[in-house]
Chain A
Amino acid sequence: MTIEVRIPTILRPYTKDQKIVSAQGVTLFEVIDDLEKNYRGLADRLIENGELRKFINVYINDEDVRFSGGLATPTKAGDSITILPAVAGGQIMASR
């Protein structure tokens, strides 16, 4: 059993245009690490300095991982992970 990962449009160039890919791992970090083996360059778009990038939202099933441990959030076979870049912007740079 694997974990399904839904890839947003802007990152599909890394996944050969696939919208849904599969991966394995017992934490979100491991899942991303596993994805990186098949889709080189993807991890760097998601992780910066050992943490999820600001303005990248990741949900495991329907839970925002920001509230469940970030990259350390446990994952299990059958989970569905959704990656969505924030829709954000504005007059000035944010400090978040």
Chain B
Amino acid sequence: MALSISKEFVDAIIAQAYAELPNECCGVILGPAGSGKAEKLKPMVNAAASPVFYEFAPVDLLSLYRGLDHEDEEIVVVYHSHPTSEAHPSSSDIEYAGEPAAHYVLVSTREEIAPNVEFRSFRIIDGAVTEEEVLISPQGE
């Protein structure tokens, strides 16, 4: 098990995490249904606008899923940032993880490790968290 993701997307997610400080940022990466390929980065608005919580706005959620049906796509990655804690799923992340097939990516921009960041990926299935390798492919691939 591993997440394959382009460097371009990794950089964009980290940039989004910094841009939305002090709040958590969030988004998804979509791919053709059944492919498991992270091809289309889609930043989402954090409707909770909170440093410790994120939630896609219900109206955005509906249009996201309508779009998936329309384009025959799936959610390959669900990502969000933790501004002040490590890049590991919290109890609420685990409780609300609703896409068993998705990679859950967490980014930590906490000060203790600056200027470094953590970028980690997990599977969350029925409350069980398994970390997986992140394979970053060069730009343009």
Q: Which residues of A contact B (CB under 8 A)?
A: 8-10, 55, 57, 59, 62, 64, 66, 82, 84-94
Contact = CB atoms under 8 A, between A and B. Distances in A.
Contact of B61 (A57, A66, A92): A57
Given A9-B100, A10-B99, A94-B48, A87 B56 contact: yes
| Interface size range on B against A | 35 or more
Contacts of A94: 48, 53, 55, 92
Nearest to B46: A90
Nearest to A56: B98
A91 B87 CA distance: 10
B55 A91 contact: no
Determine chain B's interface SS by DSSP, over half rule.
Answer: mixed
B65 A90 contact: no
Contact of B58 (A10, A64, A92, A93): A64
Given A90-B92, A92-B92, 9 more contacts: A9-B98, A57-B61, A62-B62, A85-B96, A87-B28, A87-B61, A89-B90, A90-B53, A94-B92
Contacts of A66: 58
A27 B136 CA distance: 49
26 contacts: A8-B98, A55-B55, A59-B58, A64-B62, A66-B58, A82-B65, A85-B98, A86-B56, A86-B61, A87-B44, A87-B56, A87-B98, A88-B48, A88-B96, A89-B93, A89-B94, A90-B50, A90-B80, A90-B82, A90-B92, A90-B93, A91-B52, A92-B52, A92-B53, A94-B48, A94-B55
